[in-house]
Amino acid sequence: MSQKIILVTGSSSGFGRLTAEALGRAGHTVYASMRDVAGRNAENAAALAAIAGSDLRPIELDVQSEQSVNAAVDQIIAESGRIDVVVHNAGHMMFGPAEAFTPEQFAQQYDVNVLGTQRVNRAVLPHMRTRREGLLVWISSSSSAGGTPPYLSPYFAAKAAMDSLAVQYSRELARWGIETSIIVPGAFTRGTNHFAHSGRPADEARLAEYEAGPYAGFGDQVQKAFAAIVPDDADPEPVADKIVEVVDTAFGQRPFRVHFDPTQDGADVGFAVLDRLRAEMLHRVGLSDLLKPAKS
């Protein structure tokens, strides 16, 4: 295994925090990005930096700010000379009836989960393309092709768009020798902060109408029902371990999509069909070389 310079977005908690720590333990130099490193995330940053035996470097990066993204990438290049791997993890969840979310809230979800990855890619990819090597790891969601409970439509819509973007990027970067791996975790009601930190609808009046009508108490019902199908021993840490395995796999042998879903909501079946159809179309039009990264 060769030591790699890795940028992980959204590293203050959840999958991002677990991934940064796992990659650090595996011997890589990890830039663990988060917002407000000197403020509300100062404690998280200090805890990461203090992990013995790991080269974890907290760095200020807000995926919603092009200036912030560019500054972080410039700092990494200045310090380490390259970026070998980017782990697209930063994201945010909203929970409630779709109608009660404003268009601006849907736009915010898209900005974090989709445009955030685009800002990071535009800053990092010129460096990877110059070297003709690199790896993009996208943390997707089983909701994009599996079973999806109601009341999470802004988040699910954004994650579906991000997954589609990852697929398209994989085709457009293959000839540059840049690889793509998409990690598909299932839902975890413990060990992450998705539900605890999820946003709520801004239209309080419409939310009240749902709560006073046939969907009274439905939010609690969904969360309890969803939590009931998650095995008691479901642990999100293996998601990070899967990412380490992908990073440490040799060029050209990395899997395009990796699933880890204790609830088995069917996403592995759904994505298998979707990815096969996409691959067959590339074969039909004579572009099958885009399915594998080119060697530099």
Enumerate the active-site residues. Answer: 12, 140, 155, 159
Q: Is 252 exposed, middle or buried (0-12, 13-18, 19+ CB in 10 A)?
A: exposed
Q: Alpha-carbon distance 267 to 235, whole Å?
A: 18
Neighbours of 80 (CB within 10 A): 17
Length, in residues, of the chain = 296
- Residues in a beta bridge with 56: 30
H-helix or E-strand spanning residue 59:
strand 55-60
Contact 294, 171 (CB under 8 A): no
Residue 257 three-state SS: strand
Q: Between 103-110 and 153-173, two packed helices, what is the crossing angle to 10 degrees? A: 30
